[in-house]
Amino acid sequence: MYIRWIVRKHKNAAVADVAFHDAYLVESYRDERDNPRQRTICYLGNIRQISGQFPSIERELFFLRADRILAGVPDISGDDRLEIAEMLRQKVPALTPDEVMEAFRNNLRWYVNWWRERGATPTRDELFEMIDEAEDAVGPM
């Protein structure tokens, strides 16, 4: 199995430095005449590349969607899923710890702003309770 990447440029490439990368999981096989062929197993999703970079939030969403799609393909084992994820990361890098921290801070800023606009900011105790609930849902490290 391998990943076939189809790259499409933005319709107005003169204005937008954007390309769309579509990922397909493909396998090679030989037909009844022993000719090499390829068959698409599934579409894994797409991701935008802006000015040569894949935005961090879009990278994480891309991996989440691809993993969910792979989970729905019964012929793909857990080991195969890990191998496929590694193939995807050869093109689309995983998030770094600094990028995750930046995204977390940006999300907190957005929530705080949203709550302030509506006059319903949670207390510190409520925030820590949410963190505890998230840890309980994920399980121990």
**What pLDDT, on a 0 to 100 scale, did the predictor assign at position 119?**
85
**What pLDDT, on a 0 to 100 scale, did the predictor assign at position 32?**
92
| pLDDT, averaged in runs of 10, over the chain (141 residues) | 91 78 94 92 94 90 93 88 93 93 89 87 87 85 65
How far apart, in whole angstroms, are the C-alpha atoms of residue 97 and residue 118?
Answer: 32
**What pLDDT, on a 0 to 100 scale, did the predictor assign at position 14?**
65
> Any idea of the CA torsion for 24, 85, 71, 22, to the nearest 10 degrees?
-20
**What pLDDT, on a 0 to 100 scale, did the predictor assign at position 141?**
65
Q: Is residue 44 classed exposed, middle or buried when 0-12, 13-18 and 19+ CB atoms within 10 A define those classes?
A: buried
**What pLDDT, on a 0 to 100 scale, did the predictor assign at position 43?**
96
Supply the pTM of this predicted model: 0.75
**What pLDDT, on a 0 to 100 scale, did the predictor assign at position 47?**
95
